[in-house]
Chains A and B, each alone.
Chain A
Amino acid sequence: MNAIQLTNVSKQYQSGDLSTLALDNVTLTIPMGKLSMLVGPSGCGKTTLISVASGILTPTSGEVVTLGYPLSTLSDTQNVTFRRQHIGFIFQQFNLLSSLTAAENAAMPLVASGVPLRKATQQAITLLNDLGMGAHCHKLPRQLSGGQQQRVAIARSLVHQPDMIICDEPTASLDGKTGHDVMEILRHIANDPKRAVLIVSHDTRVFSFADHLVEMADGRILTNPSN
């Protein structure tokens, strides 16, 4: 089973009379057990593509099958449940909740599934320990460095043991050394054959970590080793 299978997918944004074609008839396969990287200049459609692939956005046309689920046929509620159970997200700006501690932030996907905060936090602490963040579990995001915040975000993306991790520019807000450390962690996560890691990036320093590099421009796939 492929992690993501897009077939003739297009996505058009409409704002008044202005129409923008963000994805232009994209056909793409992302395999399991590999670290895939989606690269290309800003505005080429990378973010739209991962939004469509994760069920956050609905395509204008085409078929999206992620982890075997035909997302286009799922209702909004089913889509939310699908994301909650199967996907972990890592964002460029970390998006940690400022009032919650590192452990509580990492526990959020479990809380969304109905796990009590205390129990979810315990699981998150175990994961944060594995990521070398044991000493920072009870700190608020503002008390952490960028690299530490991104590690919390990584823990949050893993805590509910998803089948796929989607990362949007995970190293863009980090210095070279910290970015490299974060990529090492993601590289390690991607070694699991039952899991896929898809990273969107235009940071050339991290391209070498990819098993599978997909290049995009103007809403189209330029190179894809799987095609």
Chain B
Amino acid sequence: MWAVALKMLLGDKAKYFGLVFGVTFASLLMGQQVSVFISLMTRTAGLIFDLTEADIWVMDQRVRYIDEAEPIRDIDLSVVRSIQGVEWAVPFYKGVATVRQPNGLSQVVVLVGVDDISLVGLATDTILGNATVITQPQTAMMDKNGYKFMWPNTPFEIGKELEINDNRLVINAICNAAPTLTTYPTLYVSYSTVTQLFPQSRNKLPFIVVKVAKSESVQDVANRIQKETGLQALSRIEFAWRSINYFATRTGIPINFGITVFLGVLIGAAITAQTFYLFIVENLKQFAAMKAFGFTNSQLFQLVAFQALFVGVIGYSLGMGLTALFIRSVSNVPAFRGLTLHWQVVAGAATMIALIILVSILVSLLKVFRADPAMVFRG
């Protein structure tokens, strides 16, 4: 029975490849587009996800996402440290700054300032130099892709000089860092360097990151911090999702990607469904003949379902394989930093493909079930 199903399917190579192409195309579109979308959204909270040591982020009540930094008072750091359940709390700076290169060109950068002692929040995957070098005055570490962005086709080297707010800054380390939504280079400095770079502003501290004591619940400590300081205290995941949701709801990214993904799924579904439908309809007389000499509707269902499953598994595997190949091939392209094929995407695409195929075969099978075996007598 299965052999018959397979022979019928593979007998018409053109239609078989058409079916596989439809499923492959739909899988590729879903996998690739959704992955790019997730990657973009994740980038909006990349720094938060990366700072795994911290359980709670403390910030101004008005902050809606990580790039919306409202300075809070330095004294709040001491208040937070004194709250029950806080194991440690350190300052964390994230902002944008304009740097000037020796050749006079300016460039906007993401400036990350980490606690001088603990270095909490510092990227640790150093590819040149030593990350701890940033504790020295006028010293910074730059992310690899930012370096490539600023000095394309130049080998990595330490000692490059920049100027921020009339202060000299030397890049003495280069690292891999979590990608951000923008392609701006990320500069890591110590928090005390941040205060020296911008001495004129009284309050500079945008975030306090907190580690909760093992015996305490994160939510309880966050509530205490909010109560004691009047500041907003969110768990790491809560803040990351808040940042993602901000971009998802306040920018055109989701709707545009959503339309693309939707169209991709629609086109893939239409190709798959139509090709499968035509495949069945063109074989209708053969199915009618099979019914005439004793194949039951149940047997024909099994036969068509097996064909659909075969096409689905091959097409889906090819589609996911091509998606993985695409992600692998662009892994070194700065614009695609952090692009990953998540298992949820793989599972989601599998579900969608299964649904498309199920609907296709059900519609096609109605035609088979209604096929009048008497049609085989018509010339």
Contact = CB atoms under 8 A, between A and B. Distances in A.
Contacts of B11: 97-100
Interface string A46-66: 011011001011000000000
Given A98-B11, A99-B11, A100-B7, A89 B1 contact: no
A206 interface: no
Interface in A83-113: 83-85, 87-89, 91-93, 95, 97-100, 104, 108-109, 111-113
Nearest to B2: A117
Interface stretch (B225-233, B262-270, B294-302, B344-352): B294-302
A93 B12 contact: no
Contact of B293 (A48, A83, A169, A172): A83
B5 to A, nearest CB: 10
Given A51-B377, A117-B1, A112 B286 contact: no
A157 to B, nearest CB: 8
Contacts of B10: 99
Contacts of B12: 98-99
Contacts of A85: 294
Contact of A47 (B289, B295, B377): B377
Contacts of B295: 80, 112
Contacts of B315: none
A88 B293 CA distance: 7
Nearest to A84: B294
Given A91-B376, A98-B11, A168-B377, A83 B292 contact: yes
State the majority secondary structure of interface residues on B: helix
A77 B291 CA distance: 11
Contacts of B285: 93, 95
A100 B11 CA distance: 8
| Highest count of chain B CB atoms <10 Å: which of A47, A50, A85 | A47
A92 B295 CA distance: 20
Chain B interface residue count: which class? 20 to 34
Contacts of A109: 293-294
Interface string B1-15: 101100111111000
Contacts of B373: 51, 56
A136 interface: no
Contacts, number: 87
A107 to B, nearest CB: 9
Contacts of A172: 379
A92 B374 CA distance: 12
B378 interface: yes
Of the listed residues B10, B291, B295, the one surrounded by the most CB atoms of chain A closer than 10 A to its CB is B295
Interface string A24-62: 000000000000000000000001101100101100000
Contacts of A77: 296
B290 interface: yes
A91 B299 CA distance: 22
B376 A95 contact: yes
Contacts of A84: 293-294
A80 B379 contact: no
A191 interface: no
Interface of B: 1, 3-4, 7-12, 285-286, 289-296, 299, 372-374, 376-379
Interface of A: 47-48, 50-51, 54, 56-57, 77, 80-81, 83-85, 87-89, 91-93, 95, 97-100, 104, 108-109, 111-113, 117-118, 156, 168-169, 172
30 contacts: A47-B374, A47-B378, A50-B377, A51-B373, A54-B292, A56-B373, A77-B296, A80-B294, A89-B293, A89-B376, A92-B377, A92-B379, A93-B285, A93-B376, A95-B376, A97-B290, A98-B11, A98-B12, A98-B286, A100-B4, A100-B7, A100-B11, A109-B294, A111-B4, A112-B293, A112-B294, A112-B299, A113-B294, A117-B1, A168-B377
